[in-house]
Structure formats: structure tokens, C-alpha cells
Amino acid sequence: MTPHPQWGRGMTEARITALTRDQWVEACAKRYMTAGELDQETAAYFAAACADQQAEFNGINIDNWESPDDTADEDMSYWENDE
């Protein structure tokens, strides 16, 4: 299956529609850990907040949410680099 153009980075339509909320949060947390270098506890907290925001803005149907990777990437794009 080809990647959906809106989701990118290997997220296929079949995969994104099959995610539960917990799986979405887990995938989002993994993105925070790898790209943002956050520890597991902090990444899980941020990912849960993202899921709450997705539900608020896009409804409870996960099919209407942005991908976990894109959501984490967008959030991290607002972080300032303190180095």
C-alpha cells in the first residue's frame, strides 16, 4: 500500500485507520523520544496531551487525526533550542 500523501514518513492509510488511541499515543511518544530525545515518561505525557488536542480539534474518531509523527514533529517545531 502506498503512503497517504497527508501522513508521510511511511504511515499508510491501512495503518493509521487501524490505530487505537493507546497505539496512537505510543507511536507519538516514540517520535518524541527519537526526534526530541525525551525520556519515556515525559514523552508519554506530551503524547497524551497531543491525543487530547487531536480529539478536541478533530473529534474522537482517530481516522480524522493527524499522524502521531506529524503531530509530535509539529509540536517540537515550536521548541526553542537552548544550546
Give the domain extent around 25.
Answer: 21-76
Residue 50 included in any domain: yes
Q: Quote the number of domains for the chain.
A: 1
Whether residue 2 is contained in a domain is answered as no
65 is a domain residue: yes
Q: Whole-prediction pTM value?
A: 0.76
Please indicate, yes or no, if residue 37 is contained in any of the structural domains. yes
- Residue 13 is assigned to a structural domain of this protein: no
83 assigned to some structural domain: no
- Is 70 within the bounds of a domain? yes
* Element of type H or E holding 69: helix 68-76
pLDDT in tens, 26-70: 999 999 999 999 999 999 999 999 999 999 999 999 999 999 999
Sign of the four-CA dihedral 65, 67, 72, 78: negative
Q: State the number of CA atoms in the 13 A half-sphere of 19 facing the CB.
A: 23
In angstroms, the Cα distances linking 34 to 17, 44, 53, 61 are 23, 13, 21, 27
Q: Is residue 51 part of a domain?
A: yes
